[in-house]
Amino acid sequence: MVMGRTRLTRVLVAVGAFATAGALGIWIGAQRGVPFVRTSDAWSIGLYVGDSPLTVEPPGDLGWTEPILTGAEVTDTVTNSVADPFLFQEGDELYIFFEIESQTTGQGELAYTSRQGDGDFKYGGIVLDEPFHLSYPQVFKHEGSHYMLPETHKANEIRLYRADNFPRDWKKVHTIATGDYSDPTITEHGGYWWIFAGGDSRLNADLHLFHSESLMGEWTEHPMSPVVRSNPDLARPGGGLVIEDGKLHRITQDCWPSYGVGLSAVEVTELTPTRYSENPVPRALFTDRKGKWNRHGIHQLSVVQLSDGSWLGAVDGKAPKRRFGWSL
């Protein structure tokens, strides 16, 4: 169907008028000293349970059908978004470390919430704030010390931190690699330390692999790295590595056609200092989210095994993206 010239002219005039009105509204707001308001995705964090790490689901019978943590629980900055949850268990205390998208500073900061036993979670506050954006706070323990490997790509590094007074007072103790790497994910396997890290954080299409014989030693990029190339469906990490039925899986984000579409599990079939391979058929996770709080997006899974043998998972979820606007 070909649009007539008169009708086409009317459409172009209408589009031009709409754009002009929008620009005028922004200009008026600026003249009045009212800032242009830019809102973004709001993320929340919830808990899943299950009999295995890759089959955790929302436990409706426990009342966890909604997120347990939103920006409303954060008291030491202004935010509407909490994401990238990592679980860490010590004794009867369960911690969730996560990213806050601070509207005060305009960047990501790292915080935690915790509970003892079956009690309620209590927000603990921001524990790491740098002059650059932080996210993805993977916490683990090694030789009696607590370590954190967050995303620090804005510093053009993969940085390792150690807590002087857990869960607070995190200090940088090692630079593992230099470059723009997203969501670095660490694990021990086969006598080596390994880090999987996304490549260029704007493209989310490559996956790099590093290894070392010791945590604080020299890290080397794998000779086959990037081990995933030009595949935004499977490259970017989406949580800690998981062992199910004796098989090692990496959790991966689906970043196509947009960031935070979903999660998959990919089986790692060979992991040595010279060889790497994985099952090319990913296992999609949490695809049935219709009508649920995270139906608009999910990009993180972290799991721990509880004393009764069951598994607890922390996931995040996205609310609909808000529109741009201004206050007049």
- What residues contact residue 199 under an 8 Å CB cut-off, 6+ apart? 180, 181, 182, 205, 206, 207, 208, 226, 235
| Residue 313 confidence class, pLDDT cut points 50, 70, 90 | very high
Q: How far is CA 299 from CA 3, 153, 208, 285, in A?
A: 43, 18, 19, 10
pTM of the model: 0.85
Residue 186 to residue 141: CA distance in whole angstroms: 12
Residue 115 to residue 204: CA distance in whole angstroms: 34
Q: Say what the pLDDT of residue 40 is.
A: 62
| Residue 258 confidence class, pLDDT cut points 50, 70, 90 | confident
Q: Computed over its alpha carbons, how large is the radius of gyration of the chain? A: 22
Residue 86 CB neighbours (<10 A):
27
Residue 110 sits in a domain whose CATH number is 2.115.10.20
Tell me, yes or no, whether 170 lies in a domain. yes
Tell me, yes or no, whether 28 lies in a domain. no
Chain centre to alpha carbon of residue 224: 25
Q: Is the pLDDT of residue 19 over 80?
A: no
Tell me, yes or no, whether 29 lies in a domain. no
Instruction: State the number of CA atoms in the 13 A half-sphere of 97 facing the CB.
Output: 27
Q: Is the pLDDT of residue 21 over 50?
A: no
The share of the chain scoring above pLDDT 90, in percent, equals 75
175 closest CA partner among 225, 136, 216: 216
| Pairing of the two strands 192-198 and 182-189 | antiparallel
DSSP sequence for 266-301: EEEEEESSS-EEE-SS-EEE----TTSTTTT----E
| Pairing of the two strands 311-318 and 301-305 | antiparallel
Q: Say what the pLDDT of residue 278 is.
A: 98
Tell me, yes or no, whether 54 lies in a domain. yes
Tell me, yes or no, whether 202 lies in a domain. yes
Read off the pLDDT of each residue in 61-88 and give the average, rounded to a whole number: 91
Q: Say what the pLDDT of residue 320 is.
A: 65
Mean pLDDT of the chain: 87
Q: What would the pLDDT profile of 164-191 be if each residue is shown by its tens digit?
A: 999 999 999 999 999 999 999 999 999 9
Range with the lowest mean pLDDT among 42-46, 57-61, 85-89, 267-271? Answer: 57-61
Tell me, yes or no, whether 262 lies in a domain. yes
Q: Say what the pLDDT of residue 44 is.
A: 96
Residue 31 to residue 39: CA distance in whole angstroms: 21
Q: Say what the pLDDT of residue 74 is.
A: 97
Tell me, yes or no, whether 302 lies in a domain. yes
Sheet holding 311-318, edge to edge: 43-50, 311-318, 301-305
Tell me, yes or no, whether 6 lies in a domain. no
What is the domain range of residue 106? 44-326
Q: Is the pLDDT of residue 23 over 70?
A: no
Q: What would the pLDDT profile of 216-242 be if each residue is shown by its tens digit?
A: 999 999 999 999 999 999 999 999 999
Q: Say what the pLDDT of residue 321 is.
A: 52
The share of the chain scoring above pLDDT 70, in percent, equals 84
| Residue 14 confidence class, pLDDT cut points 50, 70, 90 | very low
Q: How many domains does the chain have?
A: 1
Widest pairwise Cα distance in the chain: 76
Q: Say what the pLDDT of residue 61 is.
A: 72
